[in-house]
Amino acid sequence: MTRPAQPLIGRAELVTGLEQTLQTGQSRFVLLSGPPGIGSSTLAEHLARRQDGPVLRTTASEWEADHPYSLLSQLFPDLPTSGPLGTAAELVARLEPSTVLVVHDAQFGDVASLRTLASFQRHHPEAALRVVATVTTGDRRAPAETLDLLPRIATDTPALPPLDAGEISELAAAHGVALHPTMAERLRRHTRGRPRPAVQLLAELPRATWSQFEPALPAPAAVQARVREDLAACSPDARRFAEAAAVLGTDAPVRHVMSLAELDAPPLPLVDETSAAGLVALPPRGLTHVSPPDPMVRAAVLTELGPSRRAELQRRAAGLVDDPVRSLRLLVAASPVPDAEVAARLDELARERAAEGAWGTAATLLSDASRLTDDPQHQQALITRAVDALIGAGDVFRATALIPEVESIRETPLRDAVLGYLALVRGRAAEAGNRLRRAWAIVNTTREPETAALICQRYVLDALCRYDGRDLVLWADRAIELAGPDTPMAIEAEAIRGIGLAATGSAAQALRDYDRLITRLRHGAQWQRATMARGWINLIGDRIDDARVDFESALPTAHLGGSARISLWARAWLARVQFLTGEWNEALTTVREAMEMQERTGILVTGPILLWTAAAIHALRGDAEATEAVLLQSATGAGDYQIMRVPSLLARAHAAEARADSDGVLRALHPLTRPSPSSSADAPGHWPWQDMHAHALILLGRLDEADEFLTPHEKLADQRGHASMRARLAAARGRLHGARGDVASASASFDEALELISALPLRYDQARINFAYGQTLRRLRRRARADVVLSAARDGFAAMGATTYVERCDRELKAGGVHRIRPEQTPNTLTPQEESVTRLVARGLSNKEVAAELFLSSKTVQYHLTRVYAKLGIRSRAELAARVHED
């Protein structure tokens, strides 16, 4: 009987597939291969425990590889051997049917035993022998004949992939250690995603290690012992070569390794010896460069050097490498005491890297500088700036590791500004506001213009998240004035300033400013920021294709260090572009990738924008479970900022509209109807909520309120010349005219809406306007025209997978009855409208909900329902539901 077992972390899909393979009742030879520590043996044992039937185990060894049948004789010492075919026949008599045979370290298996197992598989399928063999790849001791034979006799050769950072974090949690995403990624890189060394380090290192900022991870004890033996077995010159390669690190030129090791001998024999020992690896591009085979081996070699010898080599290596960052970091590693000169060089280089937008590198350099500084105040300033740089790079988790140190120092304007910045990216508006106000209150702009400019820049971001365009421009101008033109701080402020201009009605000026700025910058994270912001304004202004190009250009984070924070903004708005243009599968992919990035970075401020898109798509596709899950996540992470709160409300409004809950739409949008003099949420194109609110009012019969609500928004959209907003509002106005029975005005408004929207690639809005138009025409008894418009709406919704609205279009078309082949009419035949009411009531909808679905009044629904009862000879909704289900 199958034994219960916990799923292996990161292997669930692989395990499921292999279990199905092994349970087919056929003979199988499953070959699990991978580098040392990848977990092939653990997986083999897991599979064996999960199978029915007896389990046998055998282990191959290097010293028995040349002895025929040594592998099988472990199981049956007296097994007669007469060649693979005859020995296989002997095995049949000794093995129970459906036996599972686990062969560990099969790369050392003797050829005779392996051939016997192959013959067993081929000639005795009725025995259903299931072999699960493990192979450690890259072991030079394994015989070539065995390595050639194994894949040829295997029936299944699944690859064991390394664990990703999320799986490493899950593995750590299973061993009682909580890893934040950045540290999980660090452990993944150090172990190359191999479970065994990861578990070893989790067990061997103190728990406090995992909450430190950039701890130096050692090799696991087992790796350290092996490397110690490998070094001892090397010739003296080869050992020195391996040590120099470890000091220089990845992709070191062989000439530098030879120079650092002070060797005059030919290098190739040394490369041969050290690579055979597993201490050095050649990169794919040739013989000119070498690297340690993995970070753990490098750490082990450095440990064996001892502090004094290691520091000596690191100081000399600093003079050999060309990269200034690597050079200075080697000097830091070689400095046991404070060094003011090196600290100053680190500070200067950090400023250069920050100016380029390589904030992650700048943070590391600043942290290094703080350790080499003995002035407490300067040390505190360096640590504080390191935190600021980490937040700028979008690495909130690494920044958080340094926060206790920052909070423990005396209050300074810089300290408050940085803590405010951290609160900002976490979406904590009140805390960010308090911190920034305090920083501005105590800064001396004359003596500390750089710090004052930084505070202004953080206020720029705060105003952006509050969606206050005027405040944003004000603080951006202050930052530029204090920092001076062409400084990194001024450029950063300028890269965001245009969004404030657009929010206050000066989008054209903003685009001109961005075109000049982007031409000036050309590359780097500042270019990335300006390009993302220009895309945002292009999206707001209906330049959809231009917006897409800008957002896609701003996605990568490899621009001299890049910024995950900027990439998250770009992804959030790219998903909106994909939603509006009907590319919903692509939009969901963008959302998923961005949410994974958000989880890695800890930046929460863009989350609700992403979830807004996801909620709308799931709701329109009729996936209620997914919609509710997203809405719950959105409500949990909505935060205090307007830029988080508004999309969270819009997500709820989309979900309510998709289920024809007009009251729910109004409830969701009610906070946006309150006047807010500081917010730009009403600016055309920024947050498209006004038409949803107007449609809901009209569907509920609150026509005068809808009229009063629409008028100021229509005027503003006309003043700004905003095409998509004018189209959406014209459609709402058309529905209002229709509700009042004004056919000519309704048609004119809808025709205007379709003309405006047809010039834009907004497929969702086109389908939505057509649907409202068709509903209105049908109510006004213009059935032939309604049929055409509703068919266009249906085609649009079907192309996007909006099943909720496809079904509504089908109901409307059927209710209109234009193309319907009418059966012979009898007094008891239901009209198309009565059939629509019947189906919806049978689903459990109330009269009010049916009215909203069919764009009727509740009284009309009750009228149709009374006639249905009479025609069918029933008296209740329950009887009606039963009748429909019977049919």
What is the per-residue pLDDT across 679-712, written as a single tens digit (0 to 9) for each?
666 778 889 999 999 999 999 999 999 999 999 9
Q: Please say whether the beta carbons of 542 and 726 come within 8 A.
A: no
Spatial CA neighbour of 510 closest among 486, 482, 544, 539: 539
Spatial CA neighbour of 103 closest among 29, 159, 51, 3: 29
What the block records as the tokens of 541 is: 């202004």
> What are the b/e assignments for 53-88, b being 16+ CB within 10 Å?
eeebebbbeeebbeebbbbbbbeeeebeeeebeebb
What is the per-residue pLDDT across 130-184, written as a single tens digit (0 to 9) for each?
999 999 988 888 899 999 999 999 999 988 899 999 999 999 999 999 998 889 9
- Residue 796 neighbours by CB distance under 10 Å: 23
Give residue 404's pLDDT: 85
The reply to whether domains 382-593 and 608-816 share a CATH topology is: yes
What is the per-residue pLDDT across 639-680, written as a single tens digit (0 to 9) for each?
789 999 999 999 999 999 999 999 999 999 999 998 765 566
Highest-confidence segment of 601-610, 634-643, 761-770, 862-871: 761-770
Q: What are residue 855's DSSP bridge partners? A: none
Give residue 817's pLDDT: 67
Give residue 286's pLDDT: 75
CATH number for region 382-593: 1.25.40.10
- ∠ Cα 668 622 845 (to 5°): 70
Give residue 886's pLDDT: 67
Give residue 2's pLDDT: 41
Helix (H, G, I), strand (E, B) or coil at 133: strand
Q: Please say whether the beta carbons of 565 and 601 come within 8 A.
A: yes
Our separate counts of H helices and E strands in the chain read: 45, 6
Q: What is the mean pLDDT of residues 412-428?
A: 91
Amino acid at 269: P
Give residue 181's pLDDT: 86
Q: What is the mean pLDDT of residues 408-427?
A: 90
- Which is more confidently placed, 678 or 338? 338
The whole-chain average pLDDT of the chain stands at: 89
Q: Provide the CATH topology of domain 832-886.
A: Arc Repressor Mutant, subunit A (1.10.10)
What the block records as the tokens of 566 is: 């900027």
- Residue 732 neighbours by CB distance under 10 Å: 27
Give residue 822's pLDDT: 43
> Residue 639: in which H helix or E strand, if any?
none
- Cα separation values, 628 from 611, 663, 722, 846, Å: 11, 18, 33, 21
608-816 belongs to CATH 3.30.70.920: no
- Cα separation values, 708 from 222, 393, 741, Å: 76, 47, 18
Give residue 1's pLDDT: 37
12-153 belongs to CATH 3.20.20.10: no
Q: Please say whether the beta carbons of 563 and 389 come within 8 A.
A: no
Secondary structure (DSSP) of 225-292: HHHHHHHHHS-HHHHHHHHHHHHH-TTEEHHHHHHHHT--S-HHHHHHHHHHTTS-B--TT-SSEEB-
The contacts of residue 132 (CB under 8 Å, 6+ apart) are 22, 30, 32, 44, 47, 48, 100, 101, 102, 103
Domain ranges of the chain: 12-153, 165-211, 221-333, 382-593, 608-816, 832-886
Give residue 139's pLDDT: 81
pLDDT-derived band of residue 557, with 50, 70 and 90 as boundaries? Answer: low
Spatial CA neighbour of 529 closest among 570, 500, 501: 570
Give residue 245's pLDDT: 96
Q: Please say whether the beta carbons of 502 and 469 come within 8 A.
A: yes
- Which is more confidently placed, 189 or 824? 189
- Which is more confidently placed, 558 or 677? 677
Q: What is the mean pLDDT of residues 610-617?
A: 95
Residue in this structure with the two tokens 């406090």, named with its chain if needed: 208
Helix (H, G, I), strand (E, B) or coil at 33: strand
Amino acid at 738: G
- CA–CA distance, 813 with 182 (Å, rounded to integer): 54
Secondary structure (DSSP) of 425-482: HTT-HHHHHHHHHHHHHH--TTT-HHHHHHHHHHHHHHHHHHT-HHHHHHHHHHHHHH
Phi, psi of 583 (to 5 degrees): -90, 70
Spatial CA neighbour of 838 closest among 789, 792, 798, 874: 874
What the block records as the tokens of 382 is: 């360096």
Radius of gyration of the chain from its Cα atoms, rounded to whole angstroms = 35
pLDDT-derived band of residue 3, with 50, 70 and 90 as boundaries? Answer: very low
- Cα separation values, 318 from 297, 325, 331, 332, Å: 21, 10, 6, 10
